[in-house]
Amino acid sequence: MLEKDVTLPAPARIGKPADPCVMVIFGAAGDLTRRKLIPALYNLAKAQLLSREFAVVGVAHRPMSTDDFRKKVSDDMTKFATGEIDPDLREWFVRRMHYLTGDFGDKNIYTQLKDLLDKVDKDHSAHGNYFFYLATGSDYFGPIVEQLAAAGLMEQNNEHWRRVIIEKPFGRDIDSARALNAQLLRVATEKQIYRIDHYLGKETVQNILAFRFANGIFEPIWNRRYIDHIQISVAETVGVEGRGSYYDIAGALRDMVPNHIMQLISLTAMEPPISFQADAVRDEQAKILHAIQPFSAEEVLTKTVRGQYGEGTAGGQHVPAYRAESDVPNDSRTETFVAMKLMIDNWRWADVPFYLRTGKCMPSRNTHIVIQFRRAPFVLFRDTQVENLVPNQLVLHIQPEEGISLRFAAKAPGPIMRLGTVDMNFEYADYFGTTPSTGYERLLHDCMIGDATLFQRADMVEAGWCVVSPVLDVWKALPPRNFPNYPAGTWGPKEADELLERDGRHWRNFEK
Ligand code: BG6
């Protein structure tokens, strides 16, 4: 609900408005805030999903007054909004912004923050509900939450709630993830901690659940009897986009696999939950993550592939090598590509490989999940070359195309029996139109209404790292000797193709 003087061009609201609250953003002067958080909050306001009793307190090192911050927010909105801006709503929105300059390591700012929050809370009638968004470097996550607790800002009761949203990376291996969880859980309860993964804010990722569990025809064949294997590809055309200092320490494996790709695997492979309650869904996801067979050291050598791009050509443009990016050492051994073959040890998926790959500077931006079914028996088509019989593939297109397609064989017209491969396509935009969004709207709103379904629990994060950590250990012990090993603008090193070819399979590449 918004103030009476604001007339909104927005469509009717779908969902309940968030609770009154103050959102405190640590890292309010940074990129995530201006590119994603502010536009997402504005979109929520426009869709009437934000309480009228809402305010933001930005906290960052950069010295700024509240007026400067309001001006910055207003300018950033012009630049990064996903749709048209309503001038009245912009004014309503910007008046809710407040700012505190300070160093996150300085204890004093937490007492200053507490005083400011008392005031902002009264002025905006936020009922004492606060959530803290840590859009900061990961080293600050633990210390900030400890300081918030020490200042009494994490204490909740029947009258008000307190929550904290933590960005990635959540740890850099299994030990550091466990240590961070332990540090947070000493001063906050699991229910107060919202570990965000922006992949779960994507409509098409959420739709994996709807597709599987709201339709009767897919679930009976969603298992090892009918499915040959599954491919998950998260291909990016971009390089490291000025994030060299972060990326060179992280690498593709840490950056994408324990978080985004584990989400895609668990939603694709999980059993039907008994309800859509947060823990019912997350229990099933966690079971899958725990069932992924961890690699032995030998298996890391045969079932994982790493790559780093050298110079190449993409979209007709020359692309410099990863090692030539700023803040990347010119002998860097960090991987920008990873591929793996995982097995899930349960009755549904025994012997069904899950192949995954992700990389920077690939030929097209494309995230998709290919479910490849077993071939039909060949009796009828014994005169047809086996390799010409294309197996059925169901493809969940996550981005940039959003949709679902089914590949099957059909008779090519003519007097003899010849088979052709055809695709049946569904595109979201054709049925539901498109509502431009940042992907953070749903997640922020969920936190404001206390729904943690789309956030990571401690055990899920740790289970993801259990899969990845053995790989990191072997890779560290055996530094790559052949980097760079794929030119920018290609589908990764040849070993990634061989990973499937050894099993008589091939990646499906989508190129536009
Ligand atoms: C981020 C990674 O979490 O996800 C980036 O740190 C990556 O390296 C990005 O580019 C991909 O997100 P999206 O939404 O563009 O697929």
pLDDT digits (tens, 9 = 90+) for 143-168: 999 999 999 999 999 999 999 999 99
Question: Tokens standing for 381?
Answer: 């088509």
CATH of the domain at 103: 3.40.50.720
Pick from 23, 51, 22: nearest CA to 37: 23
Is 50 exceeded by the pLDDT of residue 8? no
CA 88-90-92 angle, to 5 degrees, is 70
SS3 state of residue 250: helix
Instruction: Indicate the range of 255-269, 403-417, 461-475 predicted with least confidence.
Output: 403-417
Residues 350 and 300 in one domain: yes
Predicted confidence band at 493 (pLDDT cuts at 50, 70, 90)? very high
**Residue 380 — φ and ψ, nearest 5°?**
-65, -30
Residues 295 and 422 in one domain: yes
Ligand 1 atom closest to Cα of residue 255: 6
DSSP state of 272: P
Answer for the pair 37, 133: CB distance below 8 angstroms, yes or no: yes
Distance between CA atoms of residues 304 and 294, nearest Å: 12
Which one of 148, 167, 186 terminates a domain?
167
The residue count for the chain = 512
Active site residue 260: yes
Domain residues for the domain of 119 are 21-167
Ligand 1 atom closest to Cα of residue 198: 14
Contacts 24+ apart (CB under 8 A), 410-417: 417/381, 417/384
Residues 380 and 238 in one domain: yes
Predicted confidence band at 272 (pLDDT cuts at 50, 70, 90)? very high
Which one of 143, 167, 191 terminates a domain?
167
Distance between CA atoms of residues 172 and 469, nearest Å: 9
Distance between CA atoms of residues 17 and 445, nearest Å: 8
Is 90 exceeded by the pLDDT of residue 112? yes
Question: In one letter, which amino acid is 149?
Answer: A
Mean pLDDT, rounded, for 54-74:
97
Distance between CA atoms of residues 45 and 55, nearest Å: 12
| Per-residue pLDDT tens digits for 162-193 | 999 999 999 999 999 999 999 999 999 999 99
508 located within any domain: no
Catalytic residue among 98, 124, 198, 260: 260
Contacts 24+ apart (CB under 8 A), 240-248: 240/322, 240/325, 240/328, 240/336, 240/360, 242/326, 242/327, 244/325, 244/326, 244/327, 244/328, 245/327, 247/328, 247/334, 247/336, 248/327, 248/328, 248/329, 248/332, 248/334
Distance between CA atoms of residues 21 and 124, nearest Å: 9
Residues 163 and 207 in one domain: no
| Lining residues, ligand 1, CB within 6 Å | 168, 198, 236, 255
| Per-residue pLDDT tens digits for 402-451 | 999 999 988 888 887 778 899 999 999 999 888 889 999 999 999 999 99
User: How far, in Å, from the CA of 57 to the mean position of ligand 1?
Assistant: 26
CA 497-502-507 angle, to 5 degrees, is 35
Give percent above pLDDT 90 in the chain.
Answer: 87
SS3 state of residue 504: coil
Using CA positions, which residue lies closest to atom 2 of ligand 1?
255
User: How far, in Å, from the CA of 200 to the mean position of ligand 1?
Assistant: 12
Predicted confidence band at 386 (pLDDT cuts at 50, 70, 90)? low
Which residues touch 25 (CB under 8 Å, ≥6 apart)? 33, 37, 56, 57, 58, 59, 133, 135
Residues 215 and 310 in one domain: yes
Residues 51 and 123 in one domain: yes
Using CA positions, which residue lies closest to atom 10 of ligand 1?
236
Pairing relation of β-strands 193-195 and 418-427? Answer: unpaired
511 located within any domain: no
The count of domains in the chain is: 2
Distance between CA atoms of residues 243 and 255, nearest Å: 12
Give, for ligand 1, the residue of 198, 337, 368 to mutate: max count of ligand atoms closer than 8 Å to Cβ: 198
* pLDDT, averaged across the chain: 93
Distance between CA atoms of residues 321 and 305, nearest Å: 19
Pick from 15, 11, 116: nearest CA to 451: 15
Residues 114 and 214 in one domain: no
Pick from 169, 335, 167: nearest CA to 248: 335
Residues 208 and 144 in one domain: no
Answer for the pair 252, 240: CB distance below 8 angstroms, yes or no: no
Residues 407 and 314 in one domain: yes
Predicted confidence band at 330 (pLDDT cuts at 50, 70, 90)? very high
Distance between CA atoms of residues 110 and 122, nearest Å: 18
Ligand 1 atom closest to Cα of residue 238: 10
Which one of 116, 151, 167 terminates a domain?
167
Answer for the pair 131, 448: CB distance below 8 angstroms, yes or no: yes
User: How far, in Å, from the CA of 198 to the mean position of ligand 1?
Assistant: 8
Instruction: Indicate the range of 15-29, 73-87, 428-442 predicted with least confidence.
Output: 428-442
Beta bridge partners of 372: 229, 393
**Cis previous bond, 484, omega within 30:** yes
Which residues touch 225 (CB under 8 Å, ≥6 apart)? none
DSSP state of 313: E
Alpha helices in 153-217 (DSSP H): 174-187, 203-213
Calculate the alpha carbon distances from 200 to 31, 209, 234, 238, 438 in Å: 20, 11, 14, 21, 12
Is 80 exceeded by the pLDDT of residue 133? yes
Residues 313 and 442 in one domain: yes
Using CA positions, which residue lies closest to atom 13 of ligand 1?
199
CA atoms in the 13 A half-sphere facing the CB of 73? 29
Distance between CA atoms of residues 477 and 471, nearest Å: 10
Residues 162 and 205 in one domain: no
Is 80 exceeded by the pLDDT of residue 11? no
Distance between CA atoms of residues 73 and 89, nearest Å: 13
Mean pLDDT, rounded, for 315-337:
94
378 located within any domain: yes
16 located within any domain: no
- Provide the strand spans (E) within 156-271: 162-166, 193-195, 227-235
User: How far, in Å, from the CA of 168 to the mean position of ligand 1?
Assistant: 11
Alpha helices in 345-457 (DSSP H): 428-432, 441-449
